[in-house]
Amino acid sequence: MESVVINLFPNFAFWKLHSLKEYLLFFLMLASGIALLFYVLRRMKKARTPAGSLKRITEAVQKQSHGKARILRPASPLLQGCDLLVLLNQDLVILKNVYTGYFIQGSYHAEQWKISDNSMSQEIANPLPFLQKDAIEIENLLKKNKIENLTLHYFVLFSDNYAEPEITLDDAALPYAQTLKTFKDWLKKHQLHPHTAQELEAIQKALEPLCKVEE
């Protein structure tokens, strides 16, 4: 670091400030570093919102699916558990997004799950029963429209961007929990044997009473 500074500012005595110019250069560099830090922190805080986290999820899905996934949003009061639906080649993924908190504790049958980080702790209603009801509504709608060969999945997605979430759930609940990192890995494995564009359009149309396509 010292050699870099010396090369950039030959007359700058590192940590030995004698002239006004050296003081100005030192505090200019310090102020620039602090400004950059605040800029990064502000961007992270802005992204740690429901809208910001859904945007990150959408971008991750489109990247992993090479832009082929279709993003749907719930558009009916019948869907009370999910925030986002992802239509893949042969899979429909129902997602509940938990955007803040990176320590997660709970169990499949618990009424409440504990979500915390280094500065807060809260309890939320166990999201799994709500996702299960959403899955039943969607499955019934697909059957009504004779849509087959589409596998339904539902996950609680912990997407806090401050740290990689640590999930402590029992064995029954753990398969339904994902972080954004593990969800990306899951997506890589579910891109085989795609439906045709016509089949995807039929699925999307069948889901219209419950969902709308994200613009």
Q: Are residues 61 and 86 in the same domain?
A: yes
Q: Is residue 157 part of a domain?
A: yes
Which position has the higher pLDDT, 190 or 53?
Answer: 53
Confidence at residue 38, expressed as pLDDT on a 0 to 100 scale: 58
Q: Are residues 28 and 104 in the same domain?
A: no
Q: Is residue 208 part of a domain?
A: yes
Residue 71 identity: I
Whole-angstrom CA distances from 66 to 62, 153, 197 are 6, 20, 15
Q: How far apart are the first and last CA of the chain?
A: 47
Which position has the higher pLDDT, 203 or 134?
Answer: 134
Q: Are residues 33 and 112 in the same domain?
A: no
For the segment 179-209, what is each residue's pLDDT rounded down to a tens digit? Answer: 999 999 999 887 655 677 788 888 888 999 9
Confidence at residue 35, expressed as pLDDT on a 0 to 100 scale: 64
Q: Is residue 11 part of a domain?
A: no
Q: Are residues 37 and 54 in the same domain?
A: no
Q: Are residues 102 and 26 in the same domain?
A: no
Centre a 10 Å sphere on the Cβ of residue 46 and count the other Cβ atoms it contains: 10
Q: Are residues 116 and 165 in the same domain?
A: yes
Confidence at residue 60, expressed as pLDDT on a 0 to 100 scale: 92
Mean pLDDT of 145-174: 93
Q: Is residue 185 part of a domain?
A: yes
- Whether 98 and 115 have beta carbons less than 8 Å apart is answered as yes
163 DSSP assignment:
S
196 DSSP assignment:
P
Q: Are residues 88 and 160 in the same domain?
A: yes
Q: Is residue 32 part of a domain?
A: yes
Q: Is residue 9 part of a domain?
A: no
Q: Is residue 74 part of a domain?
A: yes
Q: Are residues 31 and 78 in the same domain?
A: no
Domain that holds residue 22: 18-47
- Whether 178 and 158 have beta carbons less than 8 Å apart is answered as yes
Q: Are residues 26 and 124 in the same domain?
A: no
Q: Are residues 86 and 156 in the same domain?
A: yes
Q: Are residues 100 and 36 in the same domain?
A: no
Identify the H or E element spanning 198: helix 197-206
Confidence at residue 177, expressed as pLDDT on a 0 to 100 scale: 97
Which position has the higher pLDDT, 205 or 127?
Answer: 127
Q: Is the pLDDT of residue 133 over 70?
A: yes
Confidence at residue 1, expressed as pLDDT on a 0 to 100 scale: 43
Q: Are residues 109 and 164 in the same domain?
A: yes
Task: Choose the weakest-confidence range: 10-24, 57-71, 78-92, 103-117.
Answer: 10-24
Confidence at residue 26, expressed as pLDDT on a 0 to 100 scale: 67
Whole-angstrom CA distances from 21 to 6, 24, 129, 162 are 14, 5, 66, 39
Q: Is residue 10 part of a domain?
A: no
Confidence at residue 48, expressed as pLDDT on a 0 to 100 scale: 65
The domain boundary residue, chosen from 8, 29, 47: 47
Indicate the number of domains in the chain.
Answer: 2
Confidence at residue 200, expressed as pLDDT on a 0 to 100 scale: 84
